[in-house]
Amino acid sequence: MSASTREAVLGRIRRSNGARPNDPERKRVVEARLAGAPVGIVPQRGQLPHDEQVALFIRMAERANASIARIAGYDALPDEVSRWLRENNFPADLRMSEDPRLSGADFGETSLTIRHGVSDGEDLNGLSHAEAAIAETGTLVLVSGPENPTSLNFLPENHIVVVRAGNIGGDMEAVFPMLRERYGKGEMPRSLNFITGPSRSGDIEQTLLLGAHGPRALHIVIVD
């Protein structure tokens, strides 16, 4: 759309609303709305004590066909990743993100072949770190950036995602304040991915196909 066409469309909208260009009162209302980030109606299902939010997240994620493990700290992550890959007969090969929170996980003691960074589309197993999670739907929240390439969320056949228990919120509305606190208002990551269970699709006969648009398997590791 050209600038002149866009201005013509916006001009018609203003006239239909009885507004005038650069109306200071309307600008004030818009700026207040953006600055305040008001919260809408929030469902009650996720309004629980935090331990119960974590339990709800686990139930909902498992219902979406994800598997779950809980570990005490990042030092236990390499053993958990190795166990999950081994028990599912997946290759001992892993493409992982360079998130600094994973620096406490020493994969050097495992038999895994480790690569870092962006997936080239040939990786069978990927490891990412989620920014947060949503209890009411069992959803992981992952942001884009050099530390956690978005390609790791969609290209590997099997996806392992780490999330801190403390970053599990009751609902979607609880996630955005977490992101603003970390990145600052107006500095959000370019992409925000919400992932609930492994990728799947159903045709007109409702035949479920896993891995249609992304990983076939999703394993979530909660770090207490």
Q: What is the pTM of this model?
A: 0.80
Judged by phi (left if over 0) then psi (alpha if -120 to 50, else beta), residue 164 lies in beta
HSE-CB at 106 with a 13 A cutoff on CA atoms is 3
Backbone angles phi, psi at 159, to 5 degrees: -120, 125
**Is 76 domain-assigned?**
yes
**Does 193 share its domain with 129?**
yes
In this predicted structure, what is the pLDDT of residue 213? 63
Q: What is the pLDDT of residue 208?
A: 56
Task: Note whether 24 and 57 are same-domain residues.
Answer: no
**pLDDT single digits (tens) 125-140:** 999 999 999 999 999 9
Range picked from 36-40, 119-123, 184-188 for highest mean pLDDT: 119-123
Co-location of 114 and 196 in the same domain:
yes
Q: What residues make up the domain containing 7?
A: 3-36
The number of distinct structural domains making up the chain is 2
- Is residue 127 domain-resident? yes
Q: In what helix (H) or strand (E) does residue 208 lie, and over which residues does it extend?
A: strand 208-210
Same domain, 19 and 69: no
